[in-house]
């Protein structure tokens, strides 16, 4: 289950600071995905980091959900940019080769 701290911010204390940016981003996305899966039945997975753009795939209950854009831009992107201010954009992409987490 996702570890949350006061203010509903993810607890990232388990993510090694010496890990690469991409590894730390993947770990944060896994934490966010655990929360989304537990409370909403959906999930998010990191697809790629290209320059200052993070590409993610949303699935499960997020597919076709009218609030998935709000989840993506308001919560996922907001959390990612809080921890990684160098990320300027978080976008959802369609992929066919990613299995559910």
Q: pLDDT tens digit string along 11-52?
A: 666 777 788 989 999 999 999 999 999 999 999 999 999 999
Partners of residue 44 on adjacent β-strands: 58
- If one counts every other C-beta atom within 10 angstroms of the C-beta of residue 76, the result is 23
Q: Identify whether the C-beta of residue 84 lies closer than 8 Å to the C-beta of residue 25.
A: yes
Total count of domains within the chain = 1
Domain range holding 40? 21-92
Residue 98 lies in a domain: no
CATH code, domain with 52: 3.30.300.130
pLDDT tens-digit readout, 6-16: 345 666 667 77
Task: Give strand ranges (E) for the chain.
Answer: 4-5, 9-10, 42-50, 53-60, 89-92
């Amino acid at each position: 289950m996702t570890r949350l701290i006061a203010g509903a911010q993810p607890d990232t204390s388990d993510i090694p600071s010496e890990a690469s940016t991409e590894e730390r981003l993947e770990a944060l996305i896994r934490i966010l995905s655990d929360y989304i899966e537990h409370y909403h039945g959906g999930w998010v997975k990191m697809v790629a980091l290209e320059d200052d753009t993070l590409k993610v795939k949303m699935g499960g209950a997020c597919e076709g959900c009218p609030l998935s854009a709000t989840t993506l831009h308001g919560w996922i992107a907001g959390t990612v940019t809080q921890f990684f201010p160098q990320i300027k954009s978080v976008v959802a992409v369609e992929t066919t080769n990613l299995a559910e987490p």
